Amino acid sequence: MIYLLGLVCLSYLAYLVVSSIRIIYFHPLRHIPGPKLWIAFPIVRNYKIIKGELDIEIRRYHGIYGEVVRLGPNDVSFITAQAWKDIYGHANRLPKATLGFSKTPDILRSDDADHARFRKALSHGFSARGMQAMEPSIVSYVDTLIERLKGFAEAQVPVDMVKWYNLATFDIIGDLAFGESFGGLRSSEYHYYVSMLFDSVKLIAFTRFRMNYPLTFKIFSPFLSTRFMEARKGQLGHARETVQRRIHSPHPRHDFMESMLRHRGDKDGLSDAELESNATVLIFAGSETTATLLSGVTYWLLRNPTSLETATREVRTTMKNESDITFQNISTQLPYLLACLDEALRMYPPVPTGLQRAVPSPMTVSGVHIPQDTRVFVHQSAAYRSALNFHQPESFIPERWLPEAKENPQSPFYNDNREAFQPFSVGPRNCIGRNLAYSEMRLILARVLWNFDIELCQESYDWNQQRSYVLWEKPELMCRVKARNR
């Protein structure tokens, strides 16, 4: 019996050795460098996914192997500007590698036909006219945020800016997507739906695991944290109830649901299930990413006093009154503030990972031959923090985004590869909410800097040391806010 068991073990070991040699040295992707352990044994990479260390490791490997890195038997990561066009652009229209858990398609997880239909339904809400109609609602929530922060200033107690940015952005997008706020700014607590959303984020990591090990995932999925699975069910239930209330509301509103309901009943209109799934996506994509970037830019400004002083001075000298801080004014009159946001997006992209696309037939990506059935992507964090693309990539320097840096050959940032910076992606599936996100972030950051002097608490000095599960796992960002001297 022991002999037989030993023979089985030796046979399996021999199989692993032969399989590894084949995958590393005889595979169609053998010409692309990468970590051999990851290539031969994808479970090592998946372990990093579960640990929340994948994105940091990919960034490190690009530092070792260069612009193109093989990260698994059939996975290739790029950090070049051309790769953005080849992978995500209109010319090739590569399909998504996986559509995730949801049974009902939404604007993130759908084929090209459904994606175009969803995008058309949402286009009015994200148009210039739609944003103008929504501005008063957004401003009212920002007013409340400022009032709550003033309370912390008067009490002279530290405030967790991550929490308050999240409360604000979730209240805003809840109003615009569901027709009702989550009430977080009023209660100072996360709505149970928001808490469930945070809990369910780590399920995305298990989606990646499922893609590489479908049988193993099926075996162990019953043992996944019931908290994660219940969070997902709770999200869907809340979305269903809230969307139905909005559909049957007799009161007209200027929001995203109004935009999606325009063609209800038509051939290309959205079903109730599609309304629910897309509203859920809007809640997540329109709040968590915005709050993450606001937290990131606040942290980097507080760690760089000169940049903070410059941004604050620009806001306070350009805007004579707080009421002057409007969508229209901030879009044209605060170039340094925009540079700070772009630099924060580079240093701390809310979605640091790569959006995988499947290669249905052999093609060339950034000058590299890619065979059929490969998964390819541009890894945002690796691209943005690479010395191959940016001068002093590990330093927060907003000046690199100002016009003079782009136009003056004497600038140390003149040769920065800005085309490699695409935080909202490119092509037919680029982020439809780009303009709204920029407007909302500029509005909130400008109002905060206009009203307060901010100081980073000692316990948050290393706030940027974080794990990631497609999104960052953000700790508290503890700050002291003080009402500005007028």
All domains of the chain in start order, with CATH: 74-483 (1.10.630.10)
- What is this structure's pTM? 0.92
- Degrees to nearest 5, angle at CA 172 with 167 and 175: 120
The predicted structure's pLDDT at residue 161: 99
* Dihedrals phi, psi of 400, to nearest 5 degrees: -65, -20
* Calpha distance 455→442 (Å, rounded): 20
What are the b/e assignments for 3-12, b being 16+ CB within 10 Å?
eeeeeeeeee
Q: How far apart are CA 233 and CA 237, in angstroms?
A: 6
Cα→Cα distances 105→31, 109, 273, 373, 387, Å: 37, 6, 9, 23, 39
Query: What pLDDT, on a 0 to 100 scale, did the predictor assign at position 240?
Result: 79
* CA-CA-CA-CA dihedral for 210, 214, 215, 217, to nearest 10: 10
Backbone angles phi, psi at 414, to 5 degrees: -60, -40
Question: What pLDDT is attached to residue 251?
Answer: 75
End-to-end CA distance of the chain: 85
Instruction: Look up residue 366 and give its two tokens.
Output: 């950034």
Nearest partner of 433 among 295, 278, 269, judged by Cα: 278
- Tell me the pLDDT tens digit for each residue of 199-243: 666 666 666 666 666 666 665 566 555 656 666 666 677 777 877
Could you list the pLDDT tens digit for every one of the 486 residues in the chain?
Answer: 676 666 666 665 765 666 778 888 889 999 999 999 999 998 899 889 888 999 999 999 999 999 999 999 999 999 999 999 999 999 998 998 875 556 678 888 888 888 889 898 888 888 888 889 899 999 999 999 999 999 999 999 999 999 999 999 999 998 888 788 889 999 999 887 787 777 666 666 666 666 666 666 665 566 555 656 666 666 677 777 877 888 777 777 778 888 887 777 677 788 888 888 888 888 888 889 999 999 999 999 999 999 999 999 999 999 999 999 999 999 999 999 999 999 999 999 999 999 999 999 999 999 999 999 999 999 999 999 999 999 999 999 999 999 999 999 999 999 999 999 999 999 999 999 999 999 999 999 999 999 999 999 999 999 999 999 888 999 999 999 999 987
Decide if 390 contacts 81 (C-beta within 8 A): no
Nearest Cα to Cα of residue 75 among 51, 105, 49: 49
Q: Is 431 annotated as a binding residue?
A: yes
Question: What is the per-residue pLDDT for 318?
Answer: 97
